[in-house]
Amino acid sequence: MKKNGLYLQLISIHGLIRGHSLELGRDADTGGQTKYVVELAKVLATHEDVAQVDLITRLIRDKNISSDYSKPIEEISDGARIVRIQCGGRKYLRKELLWPHLEEFIDKTIKFITSQERPPDIFHGHYADAGYVAMQLAAAFDTPFFFTGHSMGKNKLAKLLADGMKKNEIIRQYKIKTRIDTEETLIEKADMIITSTQQEIDNQYGLYANGAAGKYTVIPPGIELDAFYPYYDSQLDIDLLSEEAKQTKITLRNELHRFWPNPEKPFVLAVCRPDHRKNITGLIEAYGMDKELQAIANLAIFAGIRQDINSMEDNERAVLTDMLLQMDRYDLYGKLAIPKKHDFATEVPTLYRMCAQSHGVFINPALVEPFGLTLIEASACGLPIVATNDGGPVDIIKNCESGLLVDVGQPEAISGALKEILIEQSLWDTLSNNGINGVRKHYSWSTHCKDTIEQYSRLLPEQQVDSSKSNLQQNIRPSFGKRLTSIRKLLITDIDNTLIGDDDSLYQLLDLLDEHRSDLAWGVATGRSLELTLEAMTEYNIPMPDILICSVGTEMYYGPDLRMDKGWQQHISNKWKPELIKETLEQFDFLVFQEAEGQRSHKISYYLENTDDRLEQVQQSLNERKLRCNVIYSHNQFLDILPSRASKGKAVSYLRFKYDFLPRFVMVAGDSGNDADMLQGNTRGLIVGNYSEELAYLKDAARVYFSQGKYAAGIIEGLRHYGLL
Ligand code: GLC
Ligand code: MG
C-alpha cells in the first residue's frame, strides 16, 4: 500500500462480483450495482490522493458457480482489489437471506483489517446490507461512512403491492421490514449519502421518516465513453471501425429500410423496454396526429427483444399489440419502424450514431424517469434529446443542455419539440455539440471519481494530512477498533477480589496501566452486569478500560462509549433456550433465583448452597432435556447458566481472534471459579494470592502463575512475571 493517501473500503456484499466478465443479469442480485462498484473501485484507485481501494464482498465456494468467487483476494487493477469475506456458510445465497450473517461478516472484516498496515479512512456501503456493515465498521474505527442505496425498500414494497402481492408474503420473501428499518437508520447515521439524481432524494429517500434529515450529494455514475463516441468520429474514421461494428451498422440499416420507402429522411428514435410506463403509445399518438412531423421525419421504436407476441408477459404483450393497432389507426405504414430484435450492448451505440447522422432526434417519452441513462448515452453520441420535464432528465438537461424537456402527457408538446429541433439546423447543431461536451464533463468516470473523492476528503479530519499535529492527536482518544488493532499487549482482569480488594495496589496498578497505555490495552471480565460493573468503577474511581466483558462473558462492550459487540451476542445465541432452562430447573427448591440484575438475556443466575450432589442434579436434569449450556459455580454460592458458547474464557478467545493478539501477550487475572476457564486458555493466566479454594486444582496447570501478592498487587506481579510491563 502507498504510504500516503486514502485507504478506502467499498462494501457490496451480495451478488456475484469479480474483476472481469461480470455475469450481469444471471440473477436479480448480479446487475447494475455489481458493475458499478467494480468500475468505481478501479477508477478511485487511479486518483492521485488514493493509496488503496478494497472492494469487500462475500466469499462464495459453491459448485454451481465459478471458483473465481472463492478467491480471498483478487487484484483487479493497480491499487484496487476485491477482498472476499466468508459468512453464513459458503453457498451462494440471495441477498434477502444474508441479513442474519452480517455480524459474522463484520467480525471477519475487522479481523482482516487488523492484518493490514492501517485501518481504512472511509467505509462506503452499497445497498442496505452493506450500508449496515459500513456503519458498524465506521463505529469500530471511528471513521466517516458513506451510503449508496442503489434502490430502496419502500419503493420496492410499493411496487410489489401494486403488482398484487400480499404484504405478509413480501415481508417473508423479501425481508422488506428489516431492509426498510435498516435504511431508516442508515439515512439518519450516514455521514453522506450518494445518489445518482435529485429525483432519488425526493421520491425515494424522501419517503422515509428520516428522509429530510439525511445528508445527500448527487453524483451521477459515469458512462462508458469509449462505446458512446460522437457520431462524427465514425463518419470520419470509417476505416477504423471494426468489421463487427460495420456489420452491425449494415444490419441495422437494412432492418430500418425495410420499413421506410424514404430512408434518407431524418428519423426520430426511441429505445426502451416494452413497458406501459414508458409511454410508447403517447409517442405514436403525437407522431400519428402530426402530418407535418411525418413529412419531415421517420420514426423508429426499438422496444425490447420481441419474439412471439403471444408468449410474452401481459404488460409487454399489451404494449406491443397497442403499437401495431396504432400503426394501423394512424396509417403509419412506411413511416414507423418497429424492428424486432436488438442487442443493447453492441447495437445501441451504433443506432444513436446512425440517428445523429440522419440529423434525427432521440426521444424518451416515459412519464416518469428516475435516471434516464439512454438520454445520457444518446447525448454522448451527439444526438439531441427530448424527454419528460421531471426526474432524471431535468438533471441531465441542466448539466448538458442537449435537448428539450416537455410535458410528455401532451402529444402536441412532444411533436412540437421534435419539429423544433428537426427544423432549426442551428439548434440541432448546438444541442448535439452540447451533449457531446456535457456528457464528457458531467458523466464520465473521471468526473464521478473526482466528485466522490472530494466528498470523502471533506469529511476527514485535517490531522490525517498534516503530520505536524501528531502531538495533539495523541491526546485524542482513538476509537477502540483503531486502538485494538494497533496494540500488541492485553490484560483482562476479573473485578471482585482481583482488581479490587486493596486500594493501594489498585491505584498503583491504574497508574502503571496509564503509563503504558500506548502498548498495553486492558479490560475487565466479570460476573457483574454492565450496570453493576459501572457502579464498581465509579465507586473506586477506575477509568474506563478498553473492554468490558460483563455478565460472565455473555456481554462485551468497548469503551469509552460502551458500544456493545453484537457479533459476540449473535455468536453465543446459538442453541440458547433460556425459557426451557428455567422451566427445567423450577423443580429444585434449593435453587434461589437471583435478583433482577443477575438475570440477563444470555445469563440465568441462582444462589445455591452446594451440599450433597445438588450441582450434579442440576447438570443432569439439563442433560436429560438436551439443553446445551454452560453451568458455572463460584464462591460456593453463585450458579450461572450461560449459552454453551459463552464464558469469560471464550469471550477472551473471541477478542484475541478478532483483534489478533498473540496468546503470549495476553494475561488474564482472576481469583475464583468463574475465572477458571479463562485462566486455562492458551493465554497467560494469573491467580492472585487471595484466590478461593476452588482454583487450587490449577496449581500444576501450564501457563498459570500463582502470585504472592494479593488483589491488584498480584496483577502487577503477574504482568512483570510475563514481561508485559
Ligand atoms: C456477580 C453477578 C452474579 C453472578 C456472580 C458469579 O456477583 O452479579 O449474577 O452470579 O457474579 O458469576
Ligand atoms: Mg472474582
Q: Is the CB of 690 under 6 A from ligand 1?
A: no
681-712 burial: b if 16+ Cβ within 10 Å, else e: bebbbbbbebbbebbeebeeeebbbbbebbbb
**Spatial separation of the C-alpha atoms in residues 339 and 274, rounded to whole Å:** 13
Of the candidates 602, 605, 652, the residue with the CA atom closest to the CA atom of residue 633: 605
Per-residue pLDDT, 466: 40
List Cα–Cα distances, 109 to 7, 131, 320, 654, in angstroms: 15, 14, 49, 14
Q: Is the pLDDT of residue 425 over 60?
A: yes
Per-residue pLDDT, 440: 95
Q: Is the CB of 638 under 6 A from ligand 1?
A: yes
Q: What are the beta bridge partners of residue 192?
A: 146
Q: Which whole number is the average pLDDT over 162-173?
A: 92
Ligand lying nearest the CA atom of residue 554: 1
C-alpha 525 – ligand 2 centre gap (Å): 9
Write out the DSSP string of 456-497.
HHHTS-GGGT-GGGHHHHHHSPPPHHHHHHH--EEEEE-TBT
Confidence of residue 543 (pLDDT cuts 50, 70, 90): very high
- Give the CA dihedral 434, 436, 437, 443, nearest 10 degrees: 110
Q: Is the pLDDT of residue 469 over 50?
A: no
**Cα 607 from chain centre:** 46
Whether 608 and 615 have beta carbons less than 8 Å apart is answered as: yes
Cell numbers that stand for 198 in this block: 435529485
**Spatial separation of the C-alpha atoms in residues 426 and 247, rounded to whole Å:** 32
**Spatial separation of the C-alpha atoms in residues 57 and 36, rounded to whole Å:** 14
Q: Is the CB of 669 under 6 A from ligand 1?
A: no
Q: Is the CB of 549 under 6 A from ligand 1?
A: no
**Spatial separation of the C-alpha atoms in residues 339 and 357, rounded to whole Å:** 19
Q: Is the pLDDT of residue 611 over 70?
A: yes
**Spatial separation of the C-alpha atoms in residues 53 and 32, rounded to whole Å:** 20
Q: Is the CB of 681 under 6 A from ligand 1?
A: no
Give the H or E element holding residue 585: helix 578-585
Per-residue pLDDT, 474: 41
Per-residue pLDDT, 274: 76
Task: Write the pLDDT tens digit of every residue in 145-160.
Answer: 999 999 899 999 998 9
Q: Is the CB of 640 under 6 A from ligand 1?
A: yes
Confidence of residue 367 (pLDDT cuts 50, 70, 90): confident
Q: Is the CB of 395 under 6 A from ligand 1?
A: no
Confidence of residue 473 (pLDDT cuts 50, 70, 90): very low
Q: Is the pLDDT of residue 471 over 60?
A: no
Residues in the chain: 725
Most ligand 1 atoms within 8 A of CB, residue of 524, 604, 640, 671 to mutate: 640
Ligand lying nearest the CA atom of residue 675: 2
C-alpha 598 – ligand 1 centre gap (Å): 6
Which atom in ligand 1 lies closest to the alpha carbon of residue 529? 8
C-alpha 550 – ligand 1 centre gap (Å): 10
Q: ∠ at Cα 678 (672, 684), nearest 5°?
A: 105
Q: Alpha helices, DSSP H only, in 625-724?
A: 648-659, 676-679, 711-721
Cell numbers that stand for 660 in this block: 489478533
Q: Which whole number is the average pLDDT over 228-250?
A: 79
Per-residue pLDDT, 236: 61
Q: Is the pLDDT of residue 244 over 90?
A: no
Task: Write the pLDDT tens digit of every residue in 256-298.
Answer: 999 999 999 999 999 887 777 789 999 999 999 999 999 999 9
Q: Give the number of other Cβ atoms within 10 Å of residue 226's Cβ.
A: 7
Per-residue pLDDT, 552: 96
Confidence of residue 343 (pLDDT cuts 50, 70, 90): low
Q: Is the pLDDT of residue 405 over 90?
A: yes
- What letter does residue 686 receive in the DSSP assignment? E
Q: Which whole number is the average pLDDT over 693-720?
A: 95
pTM: 0.78
Q: Which whole number is the average pLDDT over 570-589?
A: 95
Task: Write the pLDDT tens digit of every residue in 175-191.
Answer: 999 999 999 999 999 99
> What is the average pLDDT score of the chain?
92
Give Dmax over CA atoms of the chain in angstroms. Answer: 106
Catalogue all structural domains in the chain, each as residue range(s) with its CATH number. 6-152 (3.40.50.2000), 231-442 (3.40.50.2000), 470-574+645-725 (3.40.50.1000), 575-644 (3.90.1070.10)
**Spatial separation of the C-alpha atoms in residues 59 and 512, rounded to whole Å:** 44
Q: Is the CB of 497 under 6 A from ligand 1?
A: no
Per-residue pLDDT, 248: 86
Per-residue pLDDT, 465: 42
C-alpha 527 – ligand 2 centre gap (Å): 8
Q: Is the pLDDT of residue 91 over 80?
A: yes
Give me the amino acid identity at 233. Answer: D
